[in-house]
Amino acid sequence: MVENRRFLNILAHLVLILGVAFVAFPVYIALIASTHGQNDFLSGVIPLLPGHDTIRNYSAMMTQGLASSGAPPLWLMLGNSLIMALSISIGKIAISIISAFAIVYFRFPGRMIAFWLIFVTLMLPVEVRILPTYKVVAELGMLNTYAGLTVPLIASATATFLFRQVFLTIPEELMEAARIDGAGPMKFFWDILLPLSRTNIAALFVILFIYGWNQYLWPLLVTTGTDHYTIVLGIKRMADIADQQPEWNFIMSTVVLAMVPPVLVVIFMQRLFVKGLIETEK
Amino acid sequence: MSTKRNTFRHRTLPYLLIAPQLVVTLVFFMWPAAQAVIQSFQQEDAFGLSTTWVGFQNYQALFADPDYLNALKVTVVFTLGVTAMSLGLALLLALAVDRMVKSATVYTTLLVWPYAVAPAVSGVMWWFMFNPTIGIFPYLLRMVGYDWNHGLHGTDAMILVVLAASWNQISYNFLFFVAGLQSIPASLREAAAIDGAGPAKRFWTITLPLLSPTTFFLLVVNFVYAMFNTFATIHATTQGGPAGSTNILVYKVFNDGFIGLNLGSSSAQSVVLLFIVIALTVVQFAWVERRVQY
Amino acid sequence: MAAITLESVGKTYAGGVTAVHAIDLAIEDGEFLVLVGPSGCGKSTLLRMIAGLETISSGAVKIGNRVVNQVEPAERDIAMVFQNYALYPHMSVRENLAYGLKNRGVPKDEIARRVAEAAKILEIGGFLDRKPRALSGGQRQRVAMGRAIVREPAAFLFDEPLSNLDAKLRVQMRGEIKQLQARLGTTSIYVTHDQLEAMTLAHRLVVLNGGRIEQVGTPLEVYRKPASTFVAAFIGSPAMNLLQAEVSGGRVRLGGASLPAPGAAEGKVTLGLRPEDLQRTRPGAEGALLMNVAYVEELGAQRLVHGTVGGQSLVCAQPVESDLGDTLTLTADPAAVHLFDAASGKRLG
């Protein structure tokens, strides 16, 4: 700090407190709404203080869901979200780390072509190739399956580049020492490379877990039956009833439950999260 | 492209290692993208039984279509709105945190978690708060005589989606601005202070110029975010309405393809998006290259 | 333990650059051989070809009686100590030492025995359970050597193992390596760019330049009879003076001065004189070199006098007590006069 100006410090605190309020307010409103009964949303303004129906709302949603809008019980959707988030993050990390290993530690015909094919995927987000990708998945019979939900999302140029970067910073001599110590390529990978990439893997996992949990467009296309709904998608389905007041208390308890897992991951693994975020964008 | 000076010798192993990634890439990225390009030059008949080659007709139709031109305009407004709002607020917060010594980590924790909230979820929350009958903000706005209704007024709807989309993105920008500010040597600001520059002058003449690489990078990232990753925000709230006033390009592609089932037009739109992504990626990489040379 | 033989071993990279030209060399069983030369001379490439880390473009490398060109590094029965030690950062010292043995399927109790023995020899028993990053530079160096010792290989390969240490530690570790090798009697090949390290460690040293051998010999042979101007300038500190001169009438002449050069052919030569071989003589002595003094460097044990003779620069070492004027009158023993071909730089006679 160059100089200590009281006024500026107070102003800074004020800005930050307002910022935190802006960031927290929607969540506060959602939390409060999830504690009220259906009747509190019929008229007037949405409640700003806690109500008495917390347990009723959450237990109803967890066990029964919202039959009127075809939403299954929340535990099912939470389970689907967890499966999707874990499969995507673990799948992406697994296929990226082995392909980065191949690209960095081997020289083989076609290596450059492979590298460019992976690179180009950076430029092809789902939104850009939406219909044909859907058709491929449909033709492979993967609609409404966990494989259909996850496999098309697990190719990742970003993760491959990240691991390539990590491997390039590992001293050359380590691999030579391992070779002299009698380690073949896969043994070197398991014994040396994987342990040395541990924190990078963890950081990437945090980012990818959030990415997977928050997927929306893809599950929207691929799931047609409620048994594969993810929670993020379920919220939308509930809010989406024509000619009817949405049941806000149930929707908002779902909103809260949909936020809790990824937000907890960010808060408790903040250091890894920041590392992951900044590294994947390099 | 670099490898290790020394590499393992193995005939089949590298191919086995790279195969999963390549298969997924080819099946779910390359093939569909190629299909999109091909279909953008074709027209399907009403029953989907036959296709004919129509050259650039789909593209001509697209750029003659007032709905598409409107979607382009809406996308520009939306993108600029989200970028300006989330970058501006994030910079303000980052500057404030940069002054903090002890409380910096606490504030950071309190500010970063919205990144973890799904765009669809934040969309629903903002939609709820702005609900014209019971929402808190329309209630407050009525007190000052403004009749908020995003179901009827295009501007209201636009403000709603910009707010919801920005809310998600602030934490990301904030973290990068904090990192950028920390990388500016304190000695530079001290030197400027000795040269007689006050806090405001230091910000404009030292901090902001030195932060420009970060700002530029975030600008590109936010463009990409607003253009491509906000489908959920729109779909969960306004669904492009009212009267197309929030119908951004990615939403229109989905709508025309899945709801309207217009394959040729949807493919042509996909290809236009493809060019936008490529352009943004190239800009981003050109910048990364430049940064490496520093 | 084994002898190592190189039979016209060469290395040419894919780009067409030749790093090592057909080298023949026989390293005896138990010998400590040092490869020395400036950076880019091919010494590391040669070592890495012996280790199996670099493919061999031509010729054959034999360890014992076996041609190992196509043999994996791990099967060559060698151990290597790297410049940056290459310790596995996530493994404890004990695990670092044991890793190579485990991979070879050595029984557990045998591994424990060998690790304990190596730890005793190198005095690293106190930190076997630490990670490498918790060790000092010297300790890491010992662990790196420990990893080589436990393997009980046919040969040790050292790739500039001391260049990451500070000057004081380097001298200490140099002594330890020398003693260790004498005690174990394992054939060792040691690469360095430091001529002092080469001189002090080697049974025989190999001076390399531009991928070719300039000279092979014991440290004293190389010091006393450098085979070329390159070796002459590279080995010995301060470096040998190299002066343009001419031979006529059995003497080598330099401006007005001349030194005895019996048997040398007439013509232009390069004259080599070590600074420590130049002695003062009385002014006006016949044929003496007249040196104009430019400046003096005090080294404590001696002083180095820099100046010129007939316009060419010259350095000579003088005792500290000596009392110097603007000019020195110098001479040298006939045995201390080195003559090299003026064009090729090869030693004459």
Domain count, chain B: 1
Q: How close A148 comes to chain B (CA, Å)? A: 11
Question: Closest Cα partner for A178 from A157, A194, A164?
Answer: A194
At A1 the pLDDT is 46
At C270 the pLDDT is 93
Q: Is the pLDDT of residue B294 over 50?
A: no
At B259 the pLDDT is 79
Cβ pair C90:A179 closer than 8 A: no
Structural domains in chain A plus CATH codes: 75-280 (1.10.3720.10)
Asked if residue B207 belongs to a domain, the reply is yes
Q: Is the pLDDT of residue B5 over 70?
A: no
Cβ pair A123:B128 closer than 8 A: no
Cβ pair A278:B176 closer than 8 A: yes
Report residue B167's pLDDT band, with 50, 70 and 90 as the boundaries: very high
- Chain C residue numbers with beta carbons less than 8 Å from the beta carbon of A182 are 74, 100, 103-104
Q: Is the pLDDT of residue A87 over 90?
A: yes
Alpha-carbon dihedral B166, B170, B171, B177, rounded to 10 degrees: 150
d(CA C240, CA A153): 69
User: Tens of pLDDT along A202-245?
Assistant: 988 988 999 999 988 889 888 887 788 888 888 887 777 644 67
Q: How close B194 comes to chain A (CA, Å)? A: 9
Q: Is B124 part of the contact surface with chain A (CB cutoff 8 Å)? A: yes
Phi then psi for residue B82, to 5 deg, are: -65, -45
For residue B153, the enclosing domain spans 60-293
Mean pLDDT, to the nearest integer, of A186-207? Answer: 92
Asked if residue B262 belongs to a domain, the reply is yes
Q: Is C243 helix (H, G, I), strand (E, B) or coil?
A: strand
- Chain A residue numbers with beta carbons less than 8 Å from the beta carbon of C79 are 180
Task: Tell me the residues of chain B between 60 and 99 that have a Cβ less than 8 Å away from chain A.
Answer: 89, 92-93, 95-97, 99
More confident residue, A262 or B99: A262
The 8-class DSSP code of residue C276 comes to G
**Consecutive H or E run containing B265:** helix B263-292
User: Tens of pLDDT along B175-212?
Assistant: 999 988 888 888 887 888 788 777 788 888 888 888 88
Q: Name the residue with tokens 């040269």.
A: B195
At B75 the pLDDT is 94
Q: Name the residue with tokens 């991951």.
A: A265
Token pair in block for residue C137: 């530079």
Cβ pair C86:A187 closer than 8 A: no
Chain C's closest residue to A194, CA to CA, is C90
Q: Is the pLDDT of residue A17 over 50?
A: yes
d(CA C112, CA A83): 45
Q: Is A90 part of the contact surface with chain B (CB cutoff 8 Å)? A: no
d(CA B154, CA B149): 9
d(CA B223, CA B216): 11
Task: Tell me the residues of chain B between 131 and 150 that have a Cβ less than 8 Å away from chain A.
Answer: 131, 133-136, 139
Side chain identity, residue A44: G
At B288 the pLDDT is 63
Asked if residue B25 belongs to a domain, the reply is no
CATH number at residue B107: 1.10.3720.10
- Mean pLDDT, chain A, integer: 85
d(CA C170, CA C124): 18
Q: Is B114 part of the contact surface with chain A (CB cutoff 8 Å)? A: yes
**Consecutive H or E run containing A113:** helix A111-120
Cβ pair C80:A181 closer than 8 A: no
**Contact indicator for A12, B100 with CB cutoff of 8 Å:** yes
Chain A's closest residue to C97, CA to CA, is A181
Asked if residue B10 belongs to a domain, the reply is no
pLDDT over 90 for what percent of chain A?
25
Q: Is the pLDDT of residue B36 over 80?
A: yes
- Chain A residue numbers with beta carbons less than 8 Å from the beta carbon of C86 are 171, 173-174, 176-177
Residues of chain C with pLDDT under 50: none
Report residue B48's pLDDT band, with 50, 70 and 90 as the boundaries: low
The Cα angle at residue A95 between residues A92 and A98, in degrees rounded to 5: 135
Question: Closest Cα partner for A256 from B163, B232, B107, B122?
Answer: B122
Question: Closest Cα partner for A28 from B10, B136, B74?
Answer: B136
Report residue A10's pLDDT band, with 50, 70 and 90 as the boundaries: confident
Q: Which of A20, A105, A252 sits opposite B4 (nearest CB)?
A: A105
The Cα angle at residue B91 between residues B87 and B96, in degrees rounded to 5: 155
| Dihedral over Cα of C74, C76, C77, C80: its sign | negative
Q: Which of B22, B108, B277 sits opposite A123 (nearest CB)?
A: B277
Return the number of CB contacts < 8 Å for A and B. Answer: 307
Q: Is B202 part of the contact surface with chain A (CB cutoff 8 Å)? A: yes
Chain A's closest residue to B94, CA to CA, is A16
Asked if residue B52 belongs to a domain, the reply is no
> What radius of gyration, in Å, describes the C-alpha atoms of chain B?
24
Q: Is the pLDDT of residue A2 over 60?
A: no
Q: Is C123 helix (H, G, I), strand (E, B) or coil?
A: coil
Mean pLDDT, to the nearest integer, of B21-37? Answer: 89
Q: Is A192 part of the contact surface with chain C (CB cutoff 8 Å)? A: yes
At C1 the pLDDT is 66
Cα C119 to the chain's mean position, in Å? Answer: 28
Long-range contacts (CB closer than 8 Å, 24 or more residues apart) made by B220-223: B220/B280, B220/B283, B220/B284, B220/B287, B221/A281, B221/B172, B221/B284, B222/B79, B222/B82, B222/B83, B222/B86, B222/B87, B222/B169, B222/B173, B223/B79, B223/B83, B223/B280
User: Tens of pLDDT along B201-257?
Assistant: 888 888 888 888 888 888 988 998 898 888 999 998 888 878 888 999 889 888 888
Cβ pair C84:A173 closer than 8 A: yes
Asked if residue B34 belongs to a domain, the reply is no
Asked if residue B44 belongs to a domain, the reply is no
Asked if residue B4 belongs to a domain, the reply is no
At B293 the pLDDT is 39
Distances (CA, A) of A262 to A136, A156, A205, A251, B231: 30, 20, 12, 18, 20
> Which one of A181, A187, A201 makes the best mutation probe of the C interface by having the most chain C beta carbons within 10 Å?
A181
Q: Is B12 part of the contact surface with chain A (CB cutoff 8 Å)? A: no
Q: Is A187 part of the contact surface with chain B (CB cutoff 8 Å)? A: no
> What radius of gyration, in Å, describes the C-alpha atoms of chain C?
24
DSSP states of C68-81:
-TTS-GGGGTEEEE
